[in-house]
Structure 1
Amino acid sequence: MKQTFSNAQKIKQLFMILIPILITQLAMFSMNFFDTTMSGHFNKHDLAGVAIGSSLWIPVFTGLSGILMGITPIIAQLVGSNEKKKVPFTVIQGIYVAVGMAALIVVIGFFVLDPILAGMKLDHEVQRIAKEYLIALSFGIFPLFIYTVLRNFIDALGQTRTTMLITLFALPINIALNYLLIFGNFGFPKLGGVGSGYATAITYWCILALAAFIIWKKSPFSHYHLFRSFSSIAFSTWKEILKIGVPIGLSIFFETSIFAAVTLFMSAYDTNTIASHQAAMNFASFLYMIPLSISMALTIVIGFETGAKRKEDARRYSKLGISFAVTMSLVCALILFFFREQVAGIYTNDRGVLKLTAHFLIYALFFQLSDAVQAPIQGILRGYKDVNFTFIMALISYWVIGLPAGYLLANYTDLSAFGYWIGLISGLAAGAIGLSYRLRWAQKKQWIGGNTNDSQRNHA
């Protein structure tokens, strides 16, 4: 990354960082997307089972990987302040944190998976598929978490194109393995939806190996000599990572776990409703990759500018990022409205599931606008290392407003399952409003106004 002076230069640099992140996020999400859609074409029980398994796994992964996202603003600010010698030590400590979290989640999963699935009162076959899918996926937890740290390191340097290429390399491997293991082609065992779990786990090992090789051999990453030595555990650095990362992880967990909670309530409905809800939610989450990618790009550029004490530049990046996110959300909403039946057809050939999925997708339209505001602001605040309010707002908007409203609407009105979606929309809107006020306050009190670097630049 480099210092920029005009809005045109800022837009160019933001897009150079953003586009690879967006492609990477879409490709990473596509692994889950293809797990779900390819399982759905095996049969509807596998669609429901994989969707249930994914709905339980995604909040756990995104919440814990959110903790590791604390590394990104730390490294971005170190690079911006020209303290590059501290970067390798921070990354290695992040890897230690990742390994510890992966081990913890495997142990916890061993004890709680059966009771959670039993409590959902699913069809026996759906429950079996969900459990075995998650067990298969667990073989990829360690490489996935370590790769997340390496990816945050690569991205924090502004080299987002590298992670894009790694993920694009991995996606066809995942699809090919799904083709072999779900449907039993070319002599491989026909595992149905469970096969997609093994396919994804193998893919995670592939992307870890490739990322490690690139960091070891290729510039500019090789200049940091990341794997030359492994320092001992430093809890002071863990504390710094966790101080920033835990609020990020909790805010992401509260956001994603609400969807898992809704899925638990949805288990009271028939298999067609569960499958339709999960298919529509899967596509809505796919579209969410756009504002999420903008959020991640803003964390990088704002962290870099903040580290260099260019506060006005950080503020200008904020406006550009939010404006672009809102524009893209309007485009996505229009596309989803006019092509919702075609989108539903991606997931299933079952006419009943298809029709119901198209109906759910109408509600997904309203997710777009709220996400376009709240996600970029989250990224901006993380770039400033202002993370605690985001976590509190996520708790209130989803668990105090969204879920209770959804439960009441679903159980005490004629909206039925659609009531949960209206509750989620309400929570998203509340989050967007609260975060908007926080950003305005933060920039007014802490970040607006010139400083030495800005003044020197403007008089140069």
Structure 2
Amino acid sequence: MQQTMTYREKIVQLLHIFLPVFITQVGQYAMNFADVTMSGHASSKDLAGVAIGSSLWVPVFTGTSGILLALTPIVSQHLGAKRHEQIPHAVIQAMYLAGVIALFIIAIGAILLHPILNHMNLDNKVQRVAFHYLMALSVGIIPLLLYYVLRCFIDALGQTKMTMFITLTALPINILFNYLLIYGQCGFPKLGGVGTGYATAITYWYCFFIAVIIVRKFQRFARYRLFTRFYPLSFAAWKELLKIGVPIGFAIFFETSIFAAVTLLMSEFSTTTIAAYQSAMNFASLLYMIPLSISTALTIAVGFEVGANRYQDAKQYSYLGIGMAVATAVVTSLLLYFFRADIARIYTNEPDVLALTAQFLLYAIFFQFSDAVAAPIQGALRGYKDVNATFWAAFVAYWGIGLPLGYTLANFTTLGAFGYWIGLISGLAAGAIFLFFRLLSIQRRYGCRNEQG
């Protein structure tokens, strides 16, 4: 990261941060896609078991990783303020916290996993695959969260190409071990869907070890000497991390869990409707990685400028990021409108599912614009370390407006399953409007501080 003087320099630097983050996000999506498709080739019950296990794990991971995401604005602001000596202390404290969180997750899983799966009334094999998949995955939880801390550190310094490199090299490793362990190739045991859990855990260990090597050997990171000095546990540092991270974690949890809830509520509709919904949502989730990556880039850029007390530059980055997201939303919306039938054919050849998927993709157009405003603003606000507004916006938008409205429209009007999407779109739009005014308020506050300074 470096100071920029013109809009052109800011755009170049923002793109420099954004593009590797976006490629990283797509790489992670590809890993999940490989897990699902490869276990599906083992058997439908293996696929169902992996899907159930993944649906339980993803909200837990996204919520806890949201807590650790607090490190990004902390390091970015230290970097902008040239408080380099405080960065390694913050990173090591985050690693301590990550280790404790990982052990807590494993302990809770050991206690609650069996009762939760029993309560779901699953087929015996599906339940067995889901249980052992999650048990296998647990082997990699500690390195995963430790890696996530190092990733936040690396990204906060603006070196997002490094995390892109880690993800792109991890993808073939994940696919290789999926192949070996799911199908029992080259002398490895044939584990079916459970093999996906072990392959994922191995991938997590790989990411962690490569990240450690990078921060030790590359000069731009080695200067911070992360692992050459012992830092005692600091509850004050944990308090700062949790104060920022817990609202982020809950905001992300509210977002991911609402889609899981809608998926469960959709079970009352026909198999054709559910298949079409899942197909459209899968593609919409892929497109969402664009504003999500811009959001991450803004957290880094805005945090850097706020730390340096360059509040006007932070403001300019915020609007550049929103403008980029809206511009890409126009392009993706046109893509969805004109090629929705072709996109639907990626997922199915059944005429009924094709037609319904194409209809769902029309509604996904409205997601593009709401996400294009809401996601970048969330990233900018995190750069200012303002996270409570995002927490409340997510809660009210999804659970206070989106789900109740969607349920009402789906069950008491002729809209049917489309009602859920209209509800979610309405909630997300309301949240985006609220966050926009919150960003204006924060920028005015920092503008006044700048004038007083």
Give the unaligned 5+ runs of structure 1: 454-460
Instruction: Judge which range, 296-305 or 19-28, deviates more.
Output: 19-28
Q: In structure 2, what is the equivalent of residue 457 of structure 1?
A: none
Partner secondary structure for residue 254 of structure 2: helix
Q: In structure 1, what is the equivalent of residue 171 of structure 2?
A: 171
Q: What's the CA shift for 1:402?
A: 1.1
Once the two structures are superposed, what CA deviation does each residue of 1:314-336 show, in whole Å capped at 9, x if it has no partner? 11111110000011122222223
Answer yes or no: is the 8 Å Cα contact 1:303–1:383 preserved in 2: yes
2-structure distance, mates of 1:199, 1:361? 33
Q: What's the CA shift for 1:276?
A: 4.6
Once the two structures are superposed, what CA deviation does each residue of 1:65-121 show, in whole Å capped at 9, x if it has no partner? 111111111111111111101111110100011111111112222233344444445
| Residue 238 (1) aligns with residue 243 (2) | no
Once the two structures are superposed, what CA deviation does each residue of 1:335-369 show, in whole Å capped at 9, x if it has no partner? 23444454445456777766655544343332211
Q: 1:131 to 1:422 in 2, by over 3 A?
A: farther
| Residue 314 (1) aligns with residue 314 (2) | yes
Paired AA for residue 309 in structure 2: K
TM-score by length of 1: 0.91
Paired AA for residue 158 in structure 1: G
Q: What's the CA shift for 1:178?
A: 2.3
Q: What's the CA shift for 1:237?
A: 0.5
Q: What's the CA shift for 1:58?
A: 1.7
Partner secondary structure for residue 245 of structure 1: helix
Q: In structure 1, what is the equivalent of residue 160 of structure 2?
A: 160
Q: What's the CA shift for 1:54?
A: 2.5
| Residue 54 (1) aligns with residue 54 (2) | yes
Q: 1:56 to 1:420 in 2, by over 3 A?
A: farther
Q: In structure 1, what is the equivalent of residue 98 of structure 2?
A: 98
Give the unaligned 5+ runs of structure 2: none
Q: 1:348 to 1:180 in 2, by over 3 A?
A: farther
2-structure distance, mates of 1:149, 1:37? 29
1-structure distance, mates of 2:434, 2:99? 34
Paired AA for residue 141 in structure 2: I
Q: What's the CA shift for 1:174?
A: 1.2
Q: In structure 2, what is the equivalent of residue 432 of structure 1?
A: 432
1-structure distance, mates of 2:10, 2:301? 9
Q: In structure 1, what is the equivalent of residue 181 of structure 2?
A: 181
2-structure distance, mates of 1:381, 1:18? 17
Q: In structure 2, what is the equivalent of residue 254 of structure 1?
A: 254
Q: 1:278 to 1:120 in 2, by over 3 A?
A: farther
Q: In structure 1, what is the equivalent of residue 205 of structure 2?
A: 205
Partner secondary structure for residue 228 of structure 1: coil
Q: In structure 2, what is the equivalent of residue 81 of structure 1?
A: 81
Any residues of structure 2 matched to 1:210-289 within 5 Å, and which? 210-269=210-269, 274-289=274-289
Once the two structures are superposed, what CA deviation does each residue of 1:109-151 show, in whole Å capped at 9, x if it has no partner? 2233344444445555544444433333222211111111000
Answer yes or no: is the 8 Å Cα contact 1:70–1:241 preserved in 2: yes
Q: 1:352 to 1:115 in 2, by over 3 A?
A: farther
Partner secondary structure for residue 224 of structure 1: coil
1-structure distance, mates of 2:344, 2:184? 25
Once the two structures are superposed, what CA deviation does each residue of 1:29-66 show, in whole Å capped at 9, x if it has no partner? 22112222333455554444433332332221111111
Q: What's the CA shift for 1:446?
A: 2.7
Q: In structure 1, what is the equivalent of residue 389 of structure 2?
A: 389
Answer yes or no: is the 8 Å Cα contact 1:68–1:98 preserved in 2: yes
Q: 1:189 to 1:423 in 2, by over 3 A?
A: farther
Q: What's the CA shift for 1:250?
A: 1.2
Once the two structures are superposed, what CA deviation does each residue of 1:389-448 show, in whole Å capped at 9, x if it has no partner? 110111101111111122223333344433322222222112111111111222123337
Q: What's the CA shift for 1:236?
A: 0.6
Q: What's the CA shift for 1:449?
A: 8.4
Any residues of structure 2 matched to 1:311-350 within 5 Å, and which? 311-347=311-347
Instruction: Judge which range, 189-198 or 211-220, deviates more.
Output: 189-198
Answer yes or no: is the 8 Å Cα contact 2:309–2:450 preserved in 1: no
Instruction: Judge which range, 294-303 or 433-442, deviates more.
Output: 433-442
Instruction: Judge which range, 301-310 or 362-371, deviates more.
Output: 362-371
Q: 1:185 to 1:120 in 2, by over 3 A?
A: same
Q: What's the CA shift for 1:309?
A: 0.5
Q: 1:452 to 1:155 in 2, by over 3 A?
A: farther
1-structure distance, mates of 2:93, 2:146? 11
Q: Pairwise CA RMSD of aligned residues?
A: 2.5
Partner secondary structure for residue 223 of structure 2: helix
Q: In structure 2, what is the equivalent of residue 136 of structure 1?
A: 136
1-structure distance, mates of 2:277, 2:212? 38
Instruction: Judge which range, 96-105 or 187-196, deviates more.
Output: 187-196
Answer yes or no: is the 8 Å Cα contact 1:36–1:347 preserved in 2: no
Partner secondary structure for residue 430 of structure 2: helix
Answer yes or no: is the 8 Å Cα contact 1:48–1:275 preserved in 2: no
Q: In structure 2, what is the equivalent of residue 146 of structure 1?
A: 146
Answer yes or no: is the 8 Å Cα contact 1:410–1:416 preserved in 2: yes
| Residue 376 (1) aligns with residue 376 (2) | yes
* Equivalent residues, number: 453
Paired AA for residue 447 in structure 1: G
1-structure distance, mates of 2:67, 2:15? 25
Once the two structures are superposed, what CA deviation does each residue of 1:282-330 show, in whole Å capped at 9, x if it has no partner? 3322221111110111011111111111111111111110000011122
Q: In structure 2, what is the equivalent of residue 402 of structure 1?
A: 402
Answer yes or no: is the 8 Å Cα contact 1:120–1:264 preserved in 2: no
Paired AA for residue 408 in structure 2: L
